[in-house]
Amino acid sequence: MQTSDPDSRLRAAVSWLRARDPELAATRRAGRAALVMPGLFALCSQVIGSPAMATYAAFASFAMLLLVDFTGPMAERLRAHLGLGVAWVVLICLGTLVAHHTWLAVVVTVVIAFLVLFSGVVSSVLAGASTALLLAFVLPATSPAPLSQLPDRLVGAALAAVTAMLAISLLWPRPGTDPLSAPAARVCRAAAQQLRSDASRLADEPHCPNPAQCRVTAAEATAAADELRAVFDATPYRPTGLSSGSRALVRLVDELTWLGSILADSTPPPDGQPACDAAAHQARRAAAAVLDEAAVLLDTPRNSPQALRSASERLRTTLEDMERNATLRLPVHKEGTGTPSRVHPVIGFLDLSFRAQEVGFATLQIASNVDRAAAADRRSWHDRLLGSEPGTVTAPLASARERAAAHLQPQSVWLHNSLRGALGIGVAVALANLTSVQHSFWVVLGTLSVLRSNALNTGQNAIRAVGGTVAGSLIGALLLQLIGHHGTVLWILLPLAVLLAGTAPSVISFAAGQASFTITLVVLFNIGQDPDWHIVLLRIQDIAIGCAVSLLVGLFFWPRGATAAVNRALAEAYADGARYLAGSVAFAVGRCGPGPAPVADAALEDGRVAAAAARRLDDAFRSYLAERGAKPVPLADMSTLVTGVVGLRLAADAVLGLWQHAEEQRAEADRAEARLVILGAAGRVSGWYRDLAAALNRAGDLPDPLPRNPAAEGQLVESLRRDLTDEKGQATATAVRIIWTADHLDVARRLQPSLAAAAAAGHPS
C-alpha cells in the first residue's frame, strides 16, 4: 500500500498536468529552456566573460525555445529555426543602430512591429514566431549601447539559435502530426460507419442494424465531431487564415461539423419503411469509402494521396450514375400537391437521392481539403514560409499578397490587432527611452503581454500582470534574503525558475506566469553579484508602465473588442454568403434555358469574396474565444452562428458545382416559369440572410425564419412537367438538377430557425 501511494500521486499529478497542458506542449518547451538557457548564460558570463553576450544568449534561447513551437517534419522545423536565427541577427543590427535616437527608434519600432504582427496572415510560420521576432528588435532598441557591443550581441543570439536547433531535435521532440489530425480522422471514421449503417438500414439488408444500433452509431459520430470542435477552439496559435494547409484545416473542421448536421437530418426514422433507391444507397457507401481513405491520409499525411483520389473519383462516378438513375425513375406523371406536412410527390421521390447527393458533395469537399492539407504538409520550408498554394502555378509572393490583401480591410480584426500592437509597442519604447528606466525593454514586453482586443480585458490583464509581478517580486526578495551571498544557490534555482516560468501561464494562470517570470529575472540579474532586492522594485516599475500603456492604447483604439468585431465579421460573412448563393442560382437558371450558356466567372468571384469574409470571421471568432471574462453571447450560440456561415457557403458551392460541371443540354423551351420560381425562392432565402446580416450589425430587426412553401413546390413541379420528359418520354437530367437546386435552397432555409434563435441571444430587444 505504501508503494502504491507515491505511484497514485504521480499518476494524479501527470493527469492534472495533461488536463491543463494538452500533449504536454508547454512542459516540453519549458523543459528544454530550463536546460539550455542557464547553460548558455553560464558559458557566456562565467567562461567567456561577456555580459552582453550572456544577456542576448539567455533571452534569445528563451524566445526560440519558449515562444515558438514550429510544426511539420523535423527538417522543416530546423529550417524554420535557422530562419528565425537569421531574422534575430538582422533585427539586432537594426535595433542597435536606431536605439540612440528616440524618435527614430519609435518610428522604426512601429513599422517593424506592424509588419511582424500583420505578416501572420501569410503563414503559420510567421504567426507563431511573431512574439520572438518582436523581442529580437525590442531588446536592442530599448538598450542603447556602443556599436562595439554589437558583435557580442550577435554571437550570443547565434549561440542560442544553434543550441535551440540541437535542443528541439534531441530533447523530447514534439510529435510530427497536427493536433487536429487525429480527432479529424476519428470524425471521418465515425461518419463513414454511420453512412454504412444508414445505407444498410434504408435498404433493409439482411443483418442490417436495428434502430437502436443506428442511434448509437449516430451518437458516436456526433461525439467525435464535438471533440474535434473542442480541440479546434482550444488549440493555441490556431492556423486561422494563414497558409493553404492551415486554411484547409479550418475548412475541414467546419465541413466535418456540417457533414454531421447533414447526417443527423438524413438518419432513417426508427419506424420508417425501407426506401428502395439502390443508387442512393450505393452513393452513401462510396462516400463512406472516401471518408475512410481521408482518415488514413490524416493519420499519415506524408503518404501518397492516390487512394483517396481514386475513392473520390469512384464517388463522383456513383453520383453521376445516381443522377441518371433519378431521371429514369422520376414519376413524371405523379399527381398531387405539397401540403404543410408533406412535399410534392415528385420532389419527395427525389429526397433520398438528394440527401445522398448532399452527403456526396460534402464528402468530396472534405476529401479535397484533406488532400490539400496533406500536400501542404509535404511542401518545402520556403513554400511554408510564404504560404504558397500546393499544386498551383501561382507564385508564392503572389499568394502571400492575396492573403494579406484579404485582411487590409477596415473591419479586419487582424489589421486592428496589428495596428494596436504596433502603436502600443511604439508608445512603450518612447516612454522607456524618455524615462531612462533600468531594463527598459521589460516595459515593452509588459505592454505586449497584457494588450488584448478590448479595453476591458486589457485592464483585467493589467491587474493580473501587476498582481503576478508583485507576488513574484515578494517571493524573489524573500529568496534573496534567505540566500544571502550563496551565489551557487542562485545557479541551482535558475533552471527551476525557467521551468516554472514556461509552464505556469498554460498550466496555472496568466498571473502565475508573470510571477514566475519575475522570479526568473530576479535570479538571473543577481547571479554573479551581490544580491540586490532593488531589482524587485525596478521590475514592478517597468511592468506597471507597460500595463498603463496597454490600457491607454486599448481604450483609444477599437475599444469595443472582439465581441463587436465578431458581430461585424458575421454580418459581412452572411451578406457575402447571401450574394454568393444568389449568384450561384442565377448561374444555374442561366444554364437551363435557350441561348448561349453563361460563364461562372461572376459566381466564382462571389465565392472568393465570401471565402475571404469567412477567413476574417474565423480570425474574429478566435479573438472572441481568447478573451477572458463573461461572454455577452453564449459560446454555443456564437458557434452556431459561425457554423451557419459554413452551411450557407456550402449550399452555394453545391449549387454552383451541380451546374458548372453538368453536361451541356440546351433545350428549345426556356422553362421561364421554373426559372422564375427558383429565382423567387433564391431571392427570399438570400434576402433573409441579408436581413440577418443587418440585424447582426445592429442595422435592423431580426427576421422571422421563412416557412416551407408547399405551393411553390407544386408550382415548380407543374412548371417543369412539360420539361420533365424528352422526346422519348424519359425524364431529363436538367429537371432533376432544377429540383435539386430547390432542395439546396431549402437546406439554407432550414438553417434559419437555429440561426434566428442564436442571434436573438445577443440582439437587443
Kindly list the distances between the CA atom of residue 550 and the CA atoms of 161, 423, 485, 553, in Å, as whole numbers in the listed order. Answer: 30, 10, 38, 5
Q: Domain with 687 in it: what CATH number?
A: 1.20.58
In which band, very low, low, confident or very high, does the pLDDT at 23 lie, cut at 50, 70 and 90? low
Higher pLDDT, 191 or 382: 191
188-206 confidence digits (pLDDT tens)? 999 999 888 888 876 666 6
Top mean-pLDDT range of 48-57, 113-122, 436-445, 550-559: 48-57
In which band, very low, low, confident or very high, does the pLDDT at 286 lie, cut at 50, 70 and 90? very high
Range of the domain at 727: 566-762
In which band, very low, low, confident or very high, does the pLDDT at 576 lie, cut at 50, 70 and 90? very high
Higher pLDDT, 98 or 235: 98
In-domain check, residue 474: yes
**∠ at Cα 311 (308, 314), nearest 5°?**
150
Residue 590: the pLDDT is: 81
In-domain check, residue 140: no
Among 354, 371, 388, identify where a domain stops: 371
Cell numbers at 690, concatenated:
441579408
Spatial contact of 164 and 62, defined as CB atoms under 8 Å apart: no
Shared domain for 237 and 351, answered yes or no, is yes
Residue 729: the pLDDT is: 54
| Range of weakest confidence among 3-12, 118-127, 641-650, 735-744 | 3-12
Residue 533: the pLDDT is: 56
Helices (H) and strands (E) in the chain, counts: 30, 0
In which band, very low, low, confident or very high, does the pLDDT at 723 lie, cut at 50, 70 and 90? low
Per-residue pLDDT averaged across 475-497, rounded?
Answer: 77
In-domain check, residue 305: yes
Spatial contact of 211 and 198, defined as CB atoms under 8 Å apart: no
Among 319, 352, 371, identify where a domain stops: 371
Across 175-327, the runs of DSSP E, i.e. the strands, are none
- φ, ψ of residue 177 in degrees (nearest 5): -90, 155
Residue 559: the pLDDT is: 46
In-domain check, residue 224: yes
In-domain check, residue 10: no
Helices 211-234 and 181-203 sit at what angle, rounded to 10 degrees? 160
Spatial contact of 623 and 413, defined as CB atoms under 8 Å apart: yes
**What does the mean pLDDT of the chain come to?**
75
Shared domain for 605 and 751, answered yes or no, is yes
Shared domain for 207 and 349, answered yes or no, is yes
Shared domain for 626 and 535, answered yes or no, is no
Shared domain for 516 and 579, answered yes or no, is no
Residue 339: the pLDDT is: 43
End-to-end CA distance of the chain: 62
Residue 180: the pLDDT is: 75
What is the distance of C-alpha 339 from the center of its chain? 43
Cα 501 from Cα 515, distance rounded (Å): 8
- The owner of cell 540612440 is 100
pLDDT exceeds 90 at position 543:
no
639-665 confidence digits (pLDDT tens)? 778 878 888 888 898 888 888 766 655
Across 536-599, the runs of DSSP E, i.e. the strands, are none
In which band, very low, low, confident or very high, does the pLDDT at 307 lie, cut at 50, 70 and 90? very high
Shared domain for 595 and 713, answered yes or no, is yes
Cα 568 from Cα 617, distance rounded (Å): 9
Go through 346-385 and write b for each residue having 16 or more CB atoms within 10 A of its CB, e for each that does not.
bbebbbbbbbbbbbbbbbbbbbbbbbbbbbbbbbebebbb
Shared domain for 621 and 744, answered yes or no, is yes
Cα 724 from Cα 713, distance rounded (Å): 15
Per-residue pLDDT averaged across 205-209, rounded?
Answer: 66
- φ, ψ of residue 459 in degrees (nearest 5): -60, -40
Residue 491: the pLDDT is: 84
In-domain check, residue 379: no
| Range of weakest confidence among 194-203, 229-238, 593-602 | 229-238
Residue 108: the pLDDT is: 93
Per-residue pLDDT averaged across 211-217, rounded?
Answer: 77
Shared domain for 619 and 515, answered yes or no, is no
- φ, ψ of residue 725 in degrees (nearest 5): -125, 150
Strand partners, 731: 725
Strand partners, 342: 339
Q: What is the largest CA-CA distance in the chain?
A: 103
User: What DSSP string describes 680-695?
Assistant: HHHHHHHHHHHHHHHH
115-146 confidence digits (pLDDT tens)? 888 887 776 677 778 888 888 888 888 888 88
Shared domain for 457 and 587, answered yes or no, is no
Residue 413: the pLDDT is: 66
Shared domain for 597 and 710, answered yes or no, is yes
What length is written for the chain? Answer: 765
Kindly list the distances between the CA atom of residue 231 and the CA atoms of 227, 277, 298, in Å, as whole numbers in the listed order. Answer: 6, 38, 16
Kindly list the distances between the CA atom of residue 688 and the CA atoms of 261, 578, 683, 744, 756, in Å, as whole numbers in the listed order. Answer: 21, 8, 8, 15, 10
Spatial contact of 717 and 731, defined as CB atoms under 8 Å apart: no
Q: Where are the alpha helices (DSSP H) in 171-210?
A: 181-203
Cell numbers at 444, concatenated:
515593452
Shared domain for 624 and 586, answered yes or no, is yes
Reference 328, options 720, 736, 716, 661; nearest CA is: 736
In-domain check, residue 169: no
654-710 confidence digits (pLDDT tens)? 888 888 766 655 554 556 677 788 888 889 999 999 999 988 887 678 889 988 777
159-188 confidence digits (pLDDT tens)? 999 999 999 888 877 665 666 778 888 999
| Range of weakest confidence among 226-240, 404-418, 491-505, 677-691 | 226-240
pLDDT exceeds 70 at position 747:
yes
**How many separate domains does the chain show?**
3
pLDDT exceeds 70 at position 451:
no
- φ, ψ of residue 431 in degrees (nearest 5): -65, -40
Residue 479: the pLDDT is: 76
In which band, very low, low, confident or very high, does the pLDDT at 241 lie, cut at 50, 70 and 90? very low
**∠ at Cα 233 (230, 239), nearest 5°?**
130
Shared domain for 274 and 231, answered yes or no, is yes
41-98 confidence digits (pLDDT tens)? 989 988 898 989 998 998 899 889 888 877 767 777 888 889 899 999 999 999 999 9
Cell numbers at 489, concatenated:
544557490
Residue 469: the pLDDT is: 66
Among 371, 389, 405, identify where a domain stops: 371
Top mean-pLDDT range of 32-36, 472-476, 638-642, 709-713: 32-36
Q: What percent of the chain has pLDDT over 70?
A: 66
In-domain check, residue 12: no
Q: What percent of the chain has pLDDT over 90?
A: 13
- The owner of cell 406523371 is 333
Residue 86: the pLDDT is: 93
Strand partners, 725: 731
Q: Domain with 347 in it: what CATH number?
A: 1.20.58.220
Residue 87: the pLDDT is: 93
Q: Report pTM.
A: 0.64
Kindly list the distances between the CA atom of residue 578 and the CA atoms of 326, 583, 672, in Å, as whole numbers in the listed order. Answer: 29, 9, 23
Residue 236: the pLDDT is: 46
